[in-house]
Each structure stands twice: as C-alpha cells, then as structure tokens.
C-alpha cells in the first residue's frame, strides 16, 4: 500500500505547529514556542514521511530548508492552490490566511464561507461558493490588545486571561469595577462586538454563509456569539494539507 504520511508545518507568530496527516486525517499534532531540529526529529521519528509542506510568517529555519530541497514544499504566493485567489495584492497576503481559505472551501464546498481565526491577530476571510477567495480583514488579537494597553500607557497593568476555566464561565462584561476588570471589559466586549459586526456584515452581503471559528482564543468567545458557527481546530494545518494534496495529485510538483 502507498505511504500517505505527510508532514505539515505552520510557523506562526507565537507557535510552530506540526501535524502528520494520513490522507485527510490528522494523526499526530504538536506545538512548540521555538521549533528545533531535535523537536522535529523526535516528532517524525516513527513515521516514514514522503512529502510535506511548510508555511511560515517569517524565515524558514535552516534545518527545514535542507529538507525542503528534497521532500518539502515551501508554500508561497507562487504555489498552485485549489481555489481562485482574487486578492488584489497576493504577494502581501499571509500564507496562513490563504490556507484558511482553502480549508474552508474543502470543509464546505459550494458554500459561501467566513473564517474567523482568533490568534495573535484576528483575521476574517471570505470565500465564495464558486471557490473564490475575495479578501478579509485583520485586527489585533486578544493578547496583543492587552499588551498594547500596558505598553503604551504609564500605569495600566498587563492583563492576561487564563484558559483553565470552562468556556461557559467566561464572563464578558461591558463594565468593570476595578482597573483589571475594566481592561478585560473593554478588550473582550470590544472584540466580541467586532466579531459580531463582521458576521452581520458578511451574512447581509452574501447568502447562506457558513461560519468557521478557529485559533487559540476561540475558547473565550465561542459561547457568546449569537449565530450558529462551526469550531474547527488547527484549520491552517487542514488547509495546508489540502494544498499539499493538490500539488501532489494535480500539479505533480513533488
């Protein structure tokens, strides 16, 4: 039987995420703050990886460049993809955003979709039912907003959120009774309002929109959004795997 094990690497602003796919199924996953060759070798130790793909917001580590010459596809603006990219400046479009669009089209083919990714930044991506990516929006993410309030003021404290609570217990309020609560109220209620405004605009502009939520901070907002959504973990990795398959099966570049 053919070996379908594939390595997918997504090097983001905060974490480097690795996954092994068998066909369309993710069979292993890990995330690292600073990816090293040792970590990569340990992650792939028991797998005979034949193909892979790398997506990065910055430069590619040297140890991945060595592999990319042989079996790894470096995803960039010139890589063939299974959707139409109608972005006016494709060379400035983050590959992670494009991977989200590909994933949405694969998960909901022939449907208009909106992908909201809540990570270091919040990104909003709109994909039409004819498999065309038309664009989106970028805004500061949750931790970036907390950090900015601390760094650009003289006295406001740095506020963090803990994920060690049930999502049902996440309290998003419009008013705080102390400074920490006031910062949380301003940031989180503001983000929720922004998310709901974007959803309202997209659903008013396009018919029958399926909405996907992904990213590490989905936890805080998923139960507060008043419209049906689908939560999908590691959606960038899913999209990268689809792009890799497209290049293997359709374009024969590997």
What would the two tokens of residue 17 be? 């995420």
The mean pLDDT value of the chain amounts to 90
Q: Is the pLDDT of residue 18 over 80?
A: yes
Model confidence at 3, pLDDT cuts 50, 70, 90, reads low
Which is nearest to 118 in space by CA: 8, 12, 239? Answer: 12
Tell me the pLDDT tens digit for each residue of 75-101: 998 999 999 999 999 999 999 999 999
Which active-site residues does the annotation give? 96
Model confidence at 252, pLDDT cuts 50, 70, 90, reads low
User: Which run of H or of E encompasses 103?
Assistant: helix 95-107
User: pLDDT value at position 64?
Assistant: 79
Model confidence at 2, pLDDT cuts 50, 70, 90, reads very low
Q: Measured between alpha carbons, how far is 90 from 104 in angstroms, rounded to an integer?
A: 18
- C-alpha to C-alpha distances, 246 to 21, 99, 236, 240, 242, nearest whole angstrom: 14, 12, 15, 10, 6
Tell me the pLDDT tens digit for each residue of 185-203: 999 999 999 999 999 999 9
User: pLDDT value at position 67?
Assistant: 53
Tell me the pLDDT tens digit for each residue of 209-242: 999 999 999 989 999 998 889 999 999 999 999 9
Contact status, residue 185 vs residue 175, Cβ threshold 8 Å: yes
Percent of the chain with pLDDT over 70: 91
Percent of the chain with pLDDT over 90: 70
Tell me the pLDDT tens digit for each residue of 138-184: 999 999 999 999 999 999 999 987 655 555 557 788 898 999 999 99
Residue 191 exposed, middle or buried by CB count within 10 Å (0-12, 13-18, 19+):
buried
Model confidence at 57, pLDDT cuts 50, 70, 90, reads confident
Q: Measured between alpha carbons, how far is 35 from 157 in angstroms, rounded to an integer?
A: 31
Model confidence at 58, pLDDT cuts 50, 70, 90, reads confident
Q: What are phi and psi of 204, to 5 degrees?
A: -80, -25
Q: Is the pLDDT of residue 107 over 60?
A: yes
User: Which run of H or of E encompasses 147?
Assistant: helix 142-151
* Block residue for tokens 């992908």: 115
In sequence order, which residues have a C-beta less than 8 Å from that of residue 207 and are 6 or more positions away? 112
């Amino acid at each position: 039987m053919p070996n379908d094990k594939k390595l997918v690497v997504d090097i983001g602003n905060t974490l480097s995420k690795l996954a092994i796919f068998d066909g369309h199924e993710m069979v292993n996953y890990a995330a690292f703050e600073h990816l090293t060759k040792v970590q990569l070798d340990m992650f792939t130790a028991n797998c005979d990886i034949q193909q892979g793909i790398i997506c990065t917001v910055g430069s590619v580590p040297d140890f991945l460049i060595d592999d990319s010459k042989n079996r790894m596809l470096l995803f960039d603006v010139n890589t063939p993809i299974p959707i139409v990219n109608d972005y006016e400046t494709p060379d400035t479009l983050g590959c992670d955003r494009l991977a989200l669009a590909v994933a949405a089209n694969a998960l909901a083919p022939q449907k208009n979709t909106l992908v909201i990714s809540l990570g270091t930044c919040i990104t909003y991506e709109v994909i039409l039912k004819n498999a065309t990516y038309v664009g989106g929006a970028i805004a500061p993410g949750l931790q970036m907003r907390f950090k900015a309030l601390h760094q650009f003021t003289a006295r406001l404290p740095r506020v963090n959120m803990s994920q060690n609570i049930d999502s049902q217990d996440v309290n998003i309020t419009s008013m705080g009774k102390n400074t920490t609560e006031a910062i949380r109220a301003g940031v989180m209620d503001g983000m929720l309002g922004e998310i709901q405004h974007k959803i309202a605009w997209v659903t008013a502009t396009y018919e029958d929109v399926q909405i996907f939520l992904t990213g590490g901070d989905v936890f805080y907002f998923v139960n507060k959004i008043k419209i049906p959504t689908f939560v999908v973990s590691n959606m960038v990795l899913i999209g990268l795997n689809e792009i890799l398959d497209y290049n293997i099966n359709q374009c024969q570049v590997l």
